[in-house]
Structure 1
Amino acid sequence: MAAARPANAKPQGVLAKADLQLGIRAFLQWDPNLRAKSEHELENARECLLFCRQFFVEDRTRSVALAQAILFLTILQNSLNYPEDELVDVPWTADYYDKNAEIQALQEKVKECVALKSKAGLERKIDEVESAALFIASAMGAIGSGIPQAAHLQGSAVCLDDLYVHLEFRFANLET
């Protein structure tokens, strides 16, 4: 698996304050009770995206989508928990992208993942990934493409769906 880029790596872009405000407003219009869900659903989505990125290190498009979706969901969660903090422009980097990474089938990556060796652990991760994918997909279904983060959030939901299918396959074929 790829190692994260060093902290001093140059940013690849910036999530603009105005764009972040639009996205946050859209999420709050979609679900006015999102603050209550930030402890579980939003955090689960963010954690699943963090887990998911190790499986797409050789894919620049997916790495960028995951990096920006993770950053946006983190900022969204922080703005819900700390509304007094002002938003700022935020630089981002696709920190797990590695153009030199070996291209490998996703099922092989799933098989090699240490965190997915036990049937119970795999079953728990399947539930978490499914829940995260549904959360992001339902948000994007309601919000649509009217926010600057839409493409990256939709791309991250596709990554989660792809991973979910491979986790289910692995679970069905795991020797106990």
Structure 2
Amino acid sequence: TVLHGLSFVFERATITQTMDTSDPASTNNNEEKDVEMADLSLLEQTQKLIYAEKRLTKLLNETEPWLPTAVAHPHRRRTRPIPSTMDQVESILALARKYASQTSAPAGWNPNAPVVGFSTPSPLPNQLRAGCLATLQLERAQAENKRKREQAVAKARQEQQQQAAKEEAAANEATTSSSRSADEP
């Protein structure tokens, strides 16, 4: 039908041109400009029709595998297989539910309500700020815990050293007092 429309446009253009040339007053400048304008509009319409035909051809080529071919080719395999068991149906539905839950808001979603138990695919600005603040707080808490552990270890070492020094001093005192008592008879 598009090609028929193109041939109709060309026939109409040739008829218009023959009518313009048969008129003795067609030598006038205004009429020549009118013919040129008609030619330009005819060219534009032809280009539009060619563009429409290309689009239709492209669409037909894209949709051809989806058109029913059972009548023309009964032994040809279908482009998209139909599930034959309930297990296949359940797996397809499970995948569809998964995609739906990941790409759309849950039932009863209120964008003004606080987000609890659901995070949007891309975090909101306040969630980004909260995430950055939480990261800083976590880093500070970890650094403080590390510092406290190091202080506790250092204090324990210091206490062990003091205890060892006391024990050594007590041992030295005991040996010196025993050596004095052995010297005094």
From the CA coordinates, give the structure whose radius of gyration is larger. Answer: 2
- What TM-score do you get using the length of structure 1 for normalisation? 0.19
**Structure with the greater relative contact order (CA < 8 A, sep ≥ 6): 1 or 2?**
1
* Structure with greater helix percent: 2
- What TM-score do you get using the length of structure 2 for normalisation? 0.18
